């Protein structure tokens, strides 16, 4: 796999760290204080409320709730996901939240995209070269434990998220959670969090 414009993507982390709103350092401090007592909430909503990008808001999660992988691990992570079974694939934009529960199909890199192929209901083209950070997030969401892999772009926005699925009793799938932890341990052990400004 060849990543193009790696330096530009690294600079994107720094640019995204400055936040998209007007709160700046005050917003970062306030959200960090909130996370010290309450990790729950929709990251995109919290980011907007505190004047930050979703990447910056996620970076404020404590280390036990979020570990970081370098964007160069994109293909490796996506390939591992093909063996997990049906996961919840989520895209959150200002206008829509789209969720698909399906297996992640195999993919290949071409022209800056990671192209999903196969018989899964999930398909499409992911602009891999825009990815600057990948977070392995484990925190409460709406009062329940959640585990997700979150991909962020050079604008500090969420590209997409892949959640460990839930069983009929709403608990996390034990096999997928084990795969999540194994993958996180493999790809994040030497990866620092994106630098704050």
132 SS3 class = strand
Q: Which domains, and CATH codes, for the chain? A: 6-188 (3.40.1570.10)
In the prediction, which pLDDT does 115 show? 96
Q: How far apart are CA 14 and CA 24, in angstroms?
A: 13
Cβ 133 vs Cβ 55: under 8 Å: yes
140-152 confidence digits (pLDDT tens): 888 899 999 999 9
In the prediction, which pLDDT does 7 show? 39
89-137 confidence digits (pLDDT tens): 999 998 999 999 999 999 999 988 999 998 899 999 999 999 999 999 9
Q: Return the structure tokens found at 61.
A: 């999660």
Q: How far apart are CA 2 and CA 114, in angstroms?
A: 11
DSSP-assigned letters across all residues of 95-132: S-EEEEEEEPPPEEEETTEEEE-SSSS--EEE-GGGEE
6 SS3 class = helix
In the prediction, which pLDDT does 9 show? 43
Q: Is the pLDDT assigned to residue 48 strictly greater than 60?
A: yes
Q: How far apart are CA 116 and CA 120, in angstroms?
A: 9
């Amino acid at each position: 796999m060849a990543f193009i414009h790696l330096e530009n993507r690294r600079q994107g982390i720094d640019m995204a760290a400055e936040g998209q709103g007007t709160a700046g350092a005050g917003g970062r401090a306030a959200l960090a204080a909130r996370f010290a007592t309450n990790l729950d909430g929709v990251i995109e909503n919290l980011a907007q409320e505190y004047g930050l990008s979703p990447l910056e808001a996620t970076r404020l999660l404590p280390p036990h709730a979020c570990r970081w992988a370098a964007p160069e691990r994109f293909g490796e992570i996506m390939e591992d996901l093909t063996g997990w079974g049906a996961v919840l694939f989520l895209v959150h934009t200002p206008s829509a939240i789209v969720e698909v529960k399906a297996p992640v199909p195999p993919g290949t890199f071409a022209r800056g995209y990671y192209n999903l192929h196969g018989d899964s209901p999930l398909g499409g083209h992911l602009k891999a070269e825009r990815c600057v950070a990948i977070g392995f997030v484990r925190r409460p969401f709406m009062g329940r434990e959640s585990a997700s892999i979150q991909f962020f772009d050079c604008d500090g926005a969420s590209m997409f998220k892949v959640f460990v699925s839930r069983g009929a009793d709403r608990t996390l799938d034990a096999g997928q959670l084990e795969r999540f932890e194994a993958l996180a341990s493999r790809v994040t052990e030497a990866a620092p969090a994106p630098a704050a400004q």
